[in-house]
Amino acid sequence: MSDQVVAESGTARSTENRRGTTTIARRVFEKVAAQVAGEVSAAGGTSGGFLGIGTRRDLDAKPEVDVTLTGDGAVVSVRCGVRYPASLRATTDEVRQNVTTRLQELTGVNVDRVDIQVAWLSRTQSPGPRPR
């Protein structure tokens, strides 16, 4: 397992040799994956707290993501909450599709698998963004 993956440019071989390669660190890949997983409105993460104490469920927060990079692809694990009464199957299918498609578009890396853990359900509407 590696902490980096090389994105393929998808261009002709002669152009690729002139342009070089792009290397994406695992942590960067995780941040991009969390962002695209959070694009699904019925899924969210946790926010606030310190070392896991005092965290709260927040549908506006990005889900937790862990990525395992292989030689030419990635396995993504997402831990999120879901707005109830949204369909768990439909929501997780949407998260899985969005993560797979958007990561491929944004990074050029193939996503081999997306595992999703639904950690909580929220029966209330999201309060919206917090004032800064």
Q: Using one digit for the tens of pLDDT, what is the confidence trace for 52-91? A: 666 777 788 899 999 998 878 999 999 999 999 999 999 9
Over 60: is that where the pLDDT of 130 sits?
A: no
CATH 3.30.70.1350 correct for 4-122: yes
Residues 6+ apart with CB under 8 A from 5: 23, 24, 26, 29, 69, 70, 71, 72, 73, 74, 109
| Domains in the chain: boundaries | 4-122
What confidence category does residue 129 fall into, taking pLDDT thresholds of 50, 70 and 90?
A: low
Looking up tokens 């993501």 gives 65
State CA 36 to chain mean position distance: 5
126, two tokens: 């999201």
What confidence category does residue 125 fall into, taking pLDDT thresholds of 50, 70 and 90?
A: low
What confidence category does residue 5 fall into, taking pLDDT thresholds of 50, 70 and 90?
A: low
6-41 confidence digits (pLDDT tens): 555 444 444 556 778 778 889 999 999 999 999 999
